[in-house]
Amino acid sequence: MFILEEDNNDRDYVIREAEEDDILSVMNINRVSLPENYSYSFFYSILKSYPKAFLVAEFDGVVGGYIMSRVEHIFSKFEKLRIKRAGHIVSIAVLPNYRGKGVGRALLLRCLEALKSVYRCEEAFLEVRVSNKTAIGLYEKIGFTIVDVAHRYYIDGEDAYIMAIKL
């Protein structure tokens, strides 16, 4: 079970819901930060469908990070043969010059809270490259656990851990 514990009153950024005008900035962050990229229409459809779980971190008017999620009905990652309403963290990224400030953690915590309180999700899950030790460490500190491995998940053939958390 995760507990929302944002304590960044002195941070130099604001976490807010993304707006349509943010999509090009989000796409840029995605292209700079991650090898997996999405089309404008993909970002737009998630923004319109799940606006409370598509967030950006803004630094003096500049979008420096984002997280986007959607809601799915899946077999529970924790209970065999149970269908659950789950939040799928599709993508999270922070520009290199804004890393190390707790931005990813703040985005993730706010998103999980929205998935739980607004979209009534019971669980959340994500995929992460097995080589991405920094992200795995962040997810584990928040309460995610590795529940499975998706072999050759990424286009370059790298495996992904599937990590999940009860909300």
Q: What is the pTM of this model?
A: 0.92
Overall residue count recorded for the chain in this entry: 167
Q: Is residue 7 part of a domain?
A: no
Q: Is residue 8 part of a domain?
A: no
* Structure confidence by residue, pLDDT tens digits, 52-109: 999 999 999 999 999 999 999 999 999 999 999 999 999 999 999 999 999 999 999 9
Q: Is residue 4 part of a domain?
A: no
Residue 77 φ then ψ, to 5°: -80, -10
Q: Is residue 5 part of a domain?
A: no
Q: Is residue 56 part of a domain?
A: yes
**Tally of domains within the chain:** 1
Supply the CATH number for residue 39's domain.
3.40.630.30
Q: Residue 92: CA atoms inside 13 Å, Cβ hemisphere, count?
A: 30
Alpha helix ranges (H) inside 1-144: 23-33, 40-49, 103-117, 133-142
What is the residue-averaged pLDDT of the chain?
94
Domain span at 91:
14-166
